[in-house]
Amino acid sequence: MQPETRYAKSGDVNIAYQVVGDGSLDLVWVPGFVSHLEVGWEEPSYRRFFERLASFLRVIIFDKRGMGLSDRISINELPTLEQRMDDIRAVMDCVGSKRTALFGISEGSSLAALFAATYPERTSALIVDGSFVGFPGLRPGEEQLQGWLNATEQNWGQGMYLPMFAPDRAGDERFRQWWARYERMAASPGAAVATLRMNFQIDIRHVLPTIRVPTLVLHQSDDAAVPPDSDRYMAQSIPGARYVEMPGTHHWPWMGDSEALLGEVQEFLTGVRPGPDPDRVLATVLFTDIVGSTERAADMGDRRWHDLLDGYYALARRDLGRFRGREVKTTGDGFLATFDGPARGIRCACAISDEARQLGLPIRAGLHTGECEIMGEDIGGIAVHIGARVAAQAASGEVLVSSTVKDLVAGSGLRFQDRGSRALKGVPEEWHLFAVELESALTAGA
């Protein structure tokens, strides 16, 4: 579930923050250029990154003053680094954190480094990634900078920075729409331009040698926004800093091979590095599909159909969050998701079906539990094929499960109707299928 947003008072300014996890070690996440606490959680890669951090830390996330859900300020009175350090201390005091690690990305690395140098008694460690600390190679000429700022103001809220920040996702339309909305919610065009101009004036290179806390400097080798020389310089300038350069093209640490990056962070902070992720795992797979979508889209027209579809996706993703499901991908007008428990998968499928019906969108859904092959963000294996074939057998409004799923939820209060044995295309042998009685799933406890 998305964490609750609260507010800390820093002088006269309200700073929005969230706390995720309950580990014995605290970590304050210092965001980069722009941020929005709540929109971030809508992106699965962002959610997985912070949930993984929260598995071994208490993670404190905030929106800097003037950004996201924190109080907006005049673009003619941008906050100083000193004021932003006050904001970090205000949030720490509000959540009762006496000493914390700081994880700063991009522009946030300057703020995190300055805080660590100024308040070592409140800083247990410093982690930075894609650092923006005033390295000369990052400073464009005034004419080039002005052209960039003009383009930013004209195109803000359309995802223009994707090719630079997340090049591998630049062609993903769903991701582009999310990032465009993230931009719009995080800052106005004027605030974005003013912040960018200020960023190019930041130079804390002279501060780096004064940092005396344990420091980890991270960098993706082909980061299109910040060259590795900037982070290498930072690591060389901070006494005892450790530098780790990993393959990758992204500027955001939650993109690409984020698990490898988080392994470095966990080992650095706890002394324990997690073992390699298993390449196969037992999971319950859920497939959903809208019945008669082609005909419905033709009747409604593209704009109305996409508006309706967006509403359906939003409801489905909310239900996935409620029942601890992981969205793997969209499949045309449906979803592929996984669950660590079959009962939660069934209840989620029934909730999605019920809410879709109220939107006038009948869906079919199918579930199967089996061993799945982990393929980066995707999954594969025979269990996935069986889940897809089970869904294809479902009638409109029906949630169909394999006998494997039914047997695993004994005692859950869920009730089923026998649909007999059926041959599933491309799958060996016949499979016994059962339809879920929706009322039993919607009224039973999660």
pLDDT classification of 410: cutoffs 50, 70, 90: confident
Would you say residue 151 has pLDDT above 50? yes
Give the number of C-alpha atoms closer than 13 A to the C-alpha of residue 119, restricted to the C-beta side.
17
Tokens of 437: 């009685």
Q: What pLDDT does residue 161 have?
A: 81
Please check whether residue 162 is in contact with residue 214, taking contact to mean a CB–CB distance below 8 angstroms: no
Instruction: Name the least confident of 295-299, 353-357, 403-407.
Output: 295-299
Q: What is the DSSP letter of 77?
A: S
% of the chain exceeding 90 in pLDDT: 55
Average pLDDT for 51-74: 94
pLDDT at 144: 75
Asked if the model's pLDDT at residue 446 lies above 50, the reply is no
* Average pLDDT over every residue of 124-149: 76
246-270: pLDDT as tens digits: 888 888 888 877 888 999 999 999 9
Provide the pLDDT for residue 227: 82
Q: Check residue 276 and give its pLDDT.
A: 59
CA distance 236 to 105: 18
Q: Strand (E) positions, 100-241?
A: 100-105, 123-129, 215-220
Q: What is the mean pLDDT of residues 324-348?
A: 89
| Residue 141 or 95, more confident | 95
Kindly state the average pLDDT of the residues 298-313: 85
Beta bridge partners of 323: none
Q: Which residues of 436-446 are buried (b: 16+ CB within 10 A; e: fewer)?
A: bebebbeeeee
Reference 8, options 65, 59, 50; nearest CA is: 65
Average pLDDT over residues 138-154: 77
Tell me the per-residue pLDDT of 181-195, one tens digit each, with 9 for 90 and over. 999 999 999 988 888
Confidence tier at 281 by pLDDT (50, 70, 90): confident
**pTM score over 0.85:** no
> What does the pLDDT average to over 26-44?
93
Domains of the chain in sequence order: 6-270 (3.40.50.1820), 280-443 (3.30.70.1230)
pLDDT of residue 137: 54
